[in-house]
Amino acid sequence: MGMEATSLTRILKSMEERGLIIRKKNPVDGRGVLIYLTDFGKEKRDLSKTTVLKFNETIKKNISEEKMNHFMEVAETINDLITDKSIFSDTNIK
């Protein structure tokens, strides 16, 4: 999933404590765990989806496609710099 196992474990534990998910042993392979959304988790998923769709709709109404393309280019460059550790490396500190 592109994250450390410890980070994922922490997130899942937090979600379980909040009643968003439940974990069950995999009946086919006892070494694995299956994760299910609870009814409360499904409610929150639907709320999140609605919120994201409304956000995207509002952005599209208020920002031109050209400006969004420029923004995405800048955001991608920043992400690349972070991924490549080009921002805070010793060679860049003056």
Q: What does pTM read for this prediction?
A: 0.66
What does the alpha-carbon distance between residue 58 and residue 72 come to, in Å, rounded to a whole number? 17
The rounded radius of gyration (Å) of the Cα atoms in the chain is 20
Q: How confident is the model at residue 92 (pLDDT cuts 50, 70, 90)?
A: low
Amino acid at residue number 72:
M
Name, in order, each residue with C-beta under 8 angstroms of 68's C-beta and a sequence gap of 6 or more: 59, 60
Question: Each residue of 25-73: pLDDT tens digit?
Answer: 999 998 999 999 999 999 999 999 999 999 999 999 999 999 999 999 9
Q: How confident is the model at residue 2 (pLDDT cuts 50, 70, 90)?
A: confident
CA distance 83 to 22: 33
Quote the distance between the C-alpha of residue 34 and its chain's center. Answer: 20
Is residue 1 scored above 70 in pLDDT?
no
